[in-house]
Each structure stands twice: as structure tokens, then as C-alpha cells.
């Protein structure tokens, strides 16, 4: 393993922990945005010439469901389970897609959510715990430790 690859994997390993936190935050933020859309749909100003126009209540329900599932996927990433990485990527992709279509309703927020989803996708897709020698779950002290290379 080259130094460049090792450095990249360590960044991705650290990024994946950060991605878990970001995915939980994204999920909670989408949950709040969905609740606002359902309870106060007039808060969002909609462009009249947008091709994909849906009611804000419909968008709110979609954001509530996606937000809750994305937050759960983020919490699952803390367990270090391999399936959690795939689920995290899946919900980050769904979140980015939903926010792309939500841009006319709340542009800055949607673009921020898309950028965060792209980072989550990158961090979870690049990290290979078996290449870095990092354990995928914390040891008894709660720390991720480097193990001997095989």
C-alpha cells in the first residue's frame, strides 16, 4: 500500500465518521423542513414556471420520511456495519435528488443539503476499512485503533 493510498484511506475513514454525523444532521434538518412544509406551507415561495410543481404538503411528507430514514441510517453507521454504508449512500442519493427538485421552494437550503449529501456519498464510497487497518467499530475504550497490516 502506497503512502498516497494510505493517506487517502485515513482521510476517508475520518470522513466516514464525520459523514455519519452529517447524515444524522441532514436527516434531522429534513425532518424539520418537512414539518414546516406540512404545518406552514405558505412559508415556502414557489416559482410559477417550475416544471415539477407539487404541493408543499406533499414535499413535506416526502422530507419527513426521507429525513427520518436518513437519520436512522446515520445512526446505523456508528455501529460500523458494512450494510450501513450502503444504506447511508442510498439515502444520501435520495436526499440529494429530493432536494434537487425542492430547489425552487427553498434554494439555499436545498443546495446546502445537496452539497452535504455529495460529501456523505464520497466518504462512504471511498472508505475501505480493510485497506487502512482501521477497525470498523470502536474497541472497548471507545476508540478506533490501527491494527497490524496483514
Residues 73-123 pLDDT 10s: 889 888 877 788 889 899 899 989 988 888 877 888 889 989 989 988 988
Range name among 60-69, 88-97, 136-145 with the lowest pLDDT average: 136-145
Residue 124 in this model has a pLDDT that exceeds 80: yes
Residue 136 lies in a domain: no
Q: Report the C-alpha gap between 134 and 16 in whole angstroms.
A: 12
pLDDT > 70 in the chain, percent? 68
Residue 147 lies in a domain: no
Q: Report the C-alpha gap between 94 and 81 in whole angstroms.
A: 20
Q: Which domain holds residue 118?
A: 3-40+54-129
Nearest to 20 by CA among 144, 107, 146, 132: 144
pTM for the whole thing? Answer: 0.68
Residue 150 lies in a domain: no
Residue 106 lies in a domain: yes
Q: Residue 120's pLDDT is what?
A: 87
Nearest to 27 by CA among 79, 95, 77: 95
Number of domains in the chain: 1
Residue 13 lies in a domain: yes
Q: Report the C-alpha gap between 145 and 16 in whole angstroms.
A: 15
Q: Residue 150's pLDDT is what?
A: 41
Residue 67 lies in a domain: yes
pLDDT per position as a tens digit, 28-49: 988 998 898 888 877 766 666 6
Q: Residue 109's pLDDT is what?
A: 85
Amino acid at each position: 500500500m502506497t503512502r498516497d493510498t494510505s493517506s487517502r484511506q485515513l482521510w476517508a475513514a475520518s470522513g466516514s465518521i464525520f459523514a455519519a454525523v452529517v447524515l444524522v444532521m441532514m436527516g434531522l434538518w429534513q425532518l424539520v423542513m418537512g414539518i414546516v412544509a406540512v404545518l406552514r406551507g405558505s412559508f415556502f415561495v414557489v416559482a410559477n414556471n417550475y416544471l415539477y410543481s407539487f404541493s408543499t404538503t406533499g414535499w413535506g411528507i416526502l422530507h419527513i420520511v426521507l429525513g427520518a430514514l436518513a437519520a436512522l441510517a446515520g445512526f446505523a453507521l456508528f455501529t460500523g456495519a458494512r450494510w450501513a454504508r450502503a444504506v447511508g449512500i442510498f439515502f444520501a442519493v435520495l436526499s440529494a435528488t429530493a432536494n434537487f427538485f425542492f430547489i425552487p421552494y427553498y434554494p439555499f437550503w436545498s443546495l446546502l443539503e445537496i452539497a452535504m449529501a455529495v460529501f456523505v456519498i464520497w466518504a462512504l464510497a471511498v472508505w475501505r476499512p480493510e485497506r487502512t487497518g482501521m477497525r470498523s467499530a470502536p474497541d472497548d475504550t471507545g476508540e478506533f485503533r490501527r491494527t497490524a497490516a496483514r
